[in-house]
Amino acid sequence: MSGFSNPVFRRLCVRFGAAATVSEFVYSRAVLSGAEAVMKKLRFTEAERPYGVQLFGSDPSEMAEACSYVEERLAPDFIDINFGCPAPTAVCAGAGSALLKNPDRMAEIVHVCSRALKKTPLTAKMRLGWSESSIIVPEAALLLEAAGAKALTLHGRTKLQGYSGPADWTLIELCARSLKIPLIGNGSAEDLSGAELASSACSAFMIGRAALGNPWIFENMRRRMEGTEAFRPSRSQRIAVALEFASEMCSEGIDGVSERDFARALPQVMAFLKGFSGFKNIRRALSGVKTLGEVRAVLEREKDL
Ligand SMILES: Cc1cc2nc3c(=O)[nH]c(=O)nc-3n(C[C@H](O)[C@H](O)[C@H](O)COP(=O)(O)O)c2cc1C
Closest-CA residue to 125 (of 223, 211, 56, 216): 56
Q: What is the pLDDT of residue 258?
A: 63
What is the percent of the chain with per-residue pLDDT over 70, rounded to a whole number? Answer: 96
Q: What is the pLDDT of residue 277?
A: 85
- Reported pTM: 0.95
**pLDDT over threshold 70, residue 34:** yes
> What is the tens place of the pLDDT at every residue in 75-118?
999 999 999 999 999 999 999 999 999 999 999 999 999 999 99
- Can you tell me the mean pLDDT for 196-220? 98
Q: What is the pLDDT of residue 265?
A: 81
The answer to whether the CB of 53 is under 6 A from ligand 1 is no
Closest-CA residue to 254 (of 74, 112, 107): 74
**pLDDT over threshold 90, residue 304:** no
The answer to whether the CB of 123 is under 6 A from ligand 1 is no
User: Known catalytic residue: 175?
Assistant: no
- Can you tell me the mean pLDDT for 136-164? 98
**CB within 8 Å of 260: residues ≥ 6 apart:** none
CB burial of residue 156 (10 Å; 0-12, 13-18, 19+): buried
Query: Model confidence at 120, in pLDDT bands (50, 70, 90)?
Result: very high
Q: What is the pLDDT of residue 261?
A: 63
User: In the predicted model, what is the mean pLDDT of the chain?
Assistant: 94
Give the closest residue (by CA) to ligand 1 atom 14: 1
**pLDDT over threshold 50, residue 253:** no
Query: Model confidence at 294, in pLDDT bands (50, 70, 90)?
Result: confident
Q: Which of 22-26, 32-36, 251-255 has the lowest mean pLDDT?
A: 251-255
Determine the Cα–Cα distance for residues 303 and 278; give it in Å rounded to an integer.
Answer: 12
**pLDDT over threshold 80, residue 263:** no
The answer to whether the CB of 125 is under 6 A from ligand 1 is yes
Report the atom number in ligand 1 closest to the C-alpha of 188. 25
